[in-house]
């Protein structure tokens, strides 16, 4: 897929995401995908997109992509959520209060899975447990290497 066609594809995908109030995270065309040429699309909705929303998006974009000039070659359309591996910027944290996060701390290199209790422009307050004991942790964003969705085990 040439660059001009890929830009048309991205524009089409973005317009559909906007119509459904979704966030278009990433678009990638892999000409040598496992199942042949693959158009990979990642979408999300405040880090909580449902399968139904992904299906609606797929149903909306699929016929529109068929109309794009220059996209005549066969390809597999792979639409999925932004995923838990996606890094979360501090500006998105207010959407995730009460959710579990995996927070990697710069100084120690340790990753803590903790519940986000609160946050502001400079720091976040986390709650986690070690051997059944409740621990609270306040981290300034400059102390954090990365933040991703976490899951309580």
We report the CATH number of the domain holding residue 27 as: 3.30.300.70
Asked if residue 58 and residue 7 are part of one domain, the reply reads: yes
On the 0-12 / 13-18 / 19+ scale of CB atoms within 10 A, 22 is buried
Same domain, yes or no: 7 and 74 = yes
- For residues 70 and 108, membership in a common domain is answered with no
Same domain assignment for residues 49 and 70: yes
Tokens representing 8? 């048309």
CA–CA separation, 43 vs 79, rounded Å?
7
Please tell me the total number of residues recorded for the chain in this structure. Answer: 153
Number of domains in the chain: 2
Pair (30, 58) in one structural domain: yes
Whether residue 53 is found in the same domain as residue 73: yes
- Domain around 105: 90-149
| Separation of alpha carbons 11 and 136, rounded Å | 44
Q: What six digits make up the tokens of 116? A: 């986000």
State both tokens at 56: 């609606």
Helix or strand holding residue 111 (H, E):
strand 111-119
| Domain boundary pick from 47, 81, 115 | 81
**One pLDDT digit (tens) per residue for the chain, 153 residues:** 888 999 999 999 999 999 999 999 999 999 988 888 999 999 999 888 999 999 999 999 999 999 998 887 789 999 999 877 789 999 999 999 999 999 999 999 999 999 999 999 999 999 998 888 999 999 999 999 999 988 776
Residues 64 and 95 in one domain: no
The enclosing domain of 127 has a CATH number of 2.30.30.100
Residue 7 shares a structural domain with residue 76: yes
Q: Which two tokens stand for residue 103?
A: 């927070």
Cβ(149)–Cβ(99) under 8 Å? yes
């Amino acid at each position: 897929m040439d660059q001009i066609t890929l830009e048309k594809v991205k524009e089409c995908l973005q317009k559909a995401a906007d119509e459904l109030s979704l966030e278009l995270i990433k678009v990638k065309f892999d000409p040598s995908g496992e199942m042949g040429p693959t158009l990979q699309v990642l979408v999300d909705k405040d880090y909580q997109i449902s399968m139904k929303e992904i299906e609606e998006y797929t149903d909306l974009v699929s016929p529109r992509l068929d109309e794009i000039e220059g996209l005549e070659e066969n390809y597999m359309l792979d639409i999925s959520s932004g995923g838990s591996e996606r890094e979360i910027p501090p500006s998105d944290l207010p959407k995730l209060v009460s959710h579990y996060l995996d927070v990697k701390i710069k100084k120690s290199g340790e990753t803590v899975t903790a519940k986000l209790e609160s946050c502001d422009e400079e720091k976040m307050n986390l709650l986690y447990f070690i051997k059944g004991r409740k621990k609270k942790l306040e981290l300034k964003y400059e102390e954090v290497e990365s933040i991703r969705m976490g899951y309580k085990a």
